[in-house]
Amino acid sequence: MRKFKLQVQTTVDGYMAGPGGEMDWMTFPWTDDVNAYLDALTKPVDTIVLGRKLAEGFIPAWASSPEGEDQATVDWMNNTPKVVISNSLTESPWDNATIAGGDLTEAVTRLKSQPGGDIITYGGATLAANLIAEGLLDELHLLVNPTAIGTGLPVFPTSGAYQRLRLAAAHPFGCGITALHFEPKRP
């Protein structure tokens, strides 16, 4: 079965965005070691899963070939098929993206049972929290930025998601970010 991975930027206090979605706390520029880590993480991936709110900004942003991004990353982000989790959309307004609605567990189980490479999600916050709460992820890759913001959109659900994790690896990078790779401990 395909692995389902979460990769998300986070603060040391566990937020993936400020209260209004701010992301100005992220550490840039990245060092080459971060890029190498992310290249290895995404190499076996052939599907990106996004929540609807994130997709609304993410897909058009990559389609515009953002300044400062290398062309190989831009091409990968644009050419990799996307599945947008949404109960409000019935068809995709974006190229190379399909919509999956209904029960989240059923949608993810169906996607994971299809042939193909690994699957990655970048969130948004609601989707990430729900995937964690439902125990649907096989790997969590938290890129912890050396910043605390005190409040915001948490990576982990605020209730009902007790889950034991095993630290599979930790990678400190030259720019100050540390990647923490966790895997759920399943009974």
Query: Would the pLDDT of 134 be above 80?
Result: yes
Angle at which helices 125-133 and 104-113 cross, to 10°: 80
* CB burial string 152-177: b at 16+ within 10 A, e below: bbbbbbeeeeebeeeeeeeeebeeeb
- What's residue 118's pLDDT? 98
**Preceding omega of 57 cis (within 30 degrees of 0):** no
Q: What residue type is assigned to position 84 of the chain? A: V
Query: Would the pLDDT of 12 be above 90?
Result: yes
Nearest CA among 142, 102, 110, 126 for reference residue 52: 126
Of 12-16, 66-70, 168-172, give the lowest mean pLDDT range.
Answer: 66-70
pTM (2 decimals)?
Answer: 0.94
Q: For the chain, how are helix, strand and coil distributed in percent, rounded to 5?
A: 25, 30, 45
Report the pLDDT averaged over residues 157-175.
89
The DSSP letter of residue 184 is E
**d(Cα 77, Cα 97) in Å, to the nearest integer?**
12
Complete DSSP assignment for 46-82: EEEEEEHHHHHHHHHHHHT--TTS-HHHHHHHHHS-E
94 pLDDT band, cuts 50/70/90, is: very high
Query: Would the pLDDT of 159 be above 90?
Result: no
8 pLDDT band, cuts 50/70/90, is: very high
Residue 107's Cβ-count burial label (10 Å; 0-12, 13-18, 19+) is middle
Q: What is the pLDDT of residues 103-118, one digit of tens each?
A: 999 999 999 999 999 9
- Provide the residue ranges of all domains of the chain, joining segments of one domain with +: 4-184
157 pLDDT band, cuts 50/70/90, is: confident
Enter the CATH code of domain 4-184. Answer: 3.40.430.10
Higher model confidence: residue 140 or residue 67?
A: 140
18 pLDDT band, cuts 50/70/90, is: very high
